[in-house]
Amino acid sequence: MTKGFCDLGFAKIDTDRFKRRGFPEAIYSSGKSDAQLKEIVRAFIGKKHDLLLTRLEYKKYSFLKEAFPKLRYNSCAKIGYLIFGKKQKRDGLVLVVCAGTSDIPVAEEAFITAELMGNKVKRLYDVGVAGVHRLMYNVELLKKASVIIVVAGMEGALASLVSGLVSSPVVAVPTSCGYGASFGGLSALLTMLNSCSPGISVVNIDNGFGAGYFATLINK
């Protein structure tokens, strides 16, 4: 029996993740040194595993880019990635909906994650409940989605509204956007957890990656 991981000493890369989930392990970059990230990336590339680096600051990306010229970067989502070969897209549509422009970085993290994991993904941004007609104008698009990721800060009401309009599952992402009493996203998190609309799953505050990943598992 193979151990299913690559031991770098400071990190044990889960090489068996693809067999279990259909996509290799993603690397959370925050808190890791340049040298550690470099060794991790080298190990992934050596095994020709698709690479996804979340919460990657541009400075660290620039350092890695010198050693790995094919590494790409989305500055809004703060995701570095390297995909081996062209992936066949899944049939279902993953739709990423966000309430306001300030929520876009988290929405983009979800979008890029879902896209790199082989989904057909579309964006529907700045359709929050303060101007609900913007959302209602796009109801037909909402109904076409197999799974919808809803990203919202402030009071986080958008997830409930979207869920009440569609038959597909909704993955709700609270963001830390908002004024003082939003408590860094806690108010949106509690609203989403207490939604009266069934069919909503909630990930942690600002966890666009987790939403994109979970939406992929649903879309499989």
pLDDT at 2 over 70: no
Is the domain 93-219 a CATH 3.40.50.1970 member? Answer: yes
Amino acid at 148: I
How many CA atoms are closer than 13 Å to the CA of 109, on its beta-carbon side? 23
Mean pLDDT of 20-44: 88
If pLDDT is split at 50, 70 and 90, which confidence band does 25 have?
Answer: confident
Residue 99 has pLDDT above 90, yes or no: yes
Q: Where along the chain do the CATH 3.40.50.1970 domains lie?
A: 93-219
- Concatenate the DSSP letters of all residues of the chain into one string: ----SEE-SS-EE-TTHHHHHSSPPPEE-TT--HHHHHHHHHHHHHTT--EEEES--HHHHHHHHHH-TT-EEETTTTEEEE--SPPPPPSSEEEEEESSGGGHHHHHHHHHHHHHTT-EEEEE-S--GGGTHHHHTTHHHHHH-SEEEEEE-TT-THHHHHHTT-SS-EEEEE-S-S-GGGGGGHHHHHHHHT-SSSSEEE--TT-HHHHHHHHHHHH-
Mean pLDDT of 91-118: 94
| Residue 42 in tokens | 């080298």
Give the mean model confidence (pLDDT) for residues 131-147.
94
pLDDT at 170 over 90: yes
- Average the pLDDT over 173-189 and give the result: 92
Band (127; pLDDT cuts 50, 70, 90):
very high
pLDDT at 92 over 50: yes
Model pLDDT, residue 1: 40
- Adjacent-strand bridge partners of 147: 94
Q: Work out the mean pLDDT of the chain and round it to a whole number.
A: 90
- Asked if the model's pLDDT at residue 3 lies above 80, the reply is no
pLDDT at 85: 67
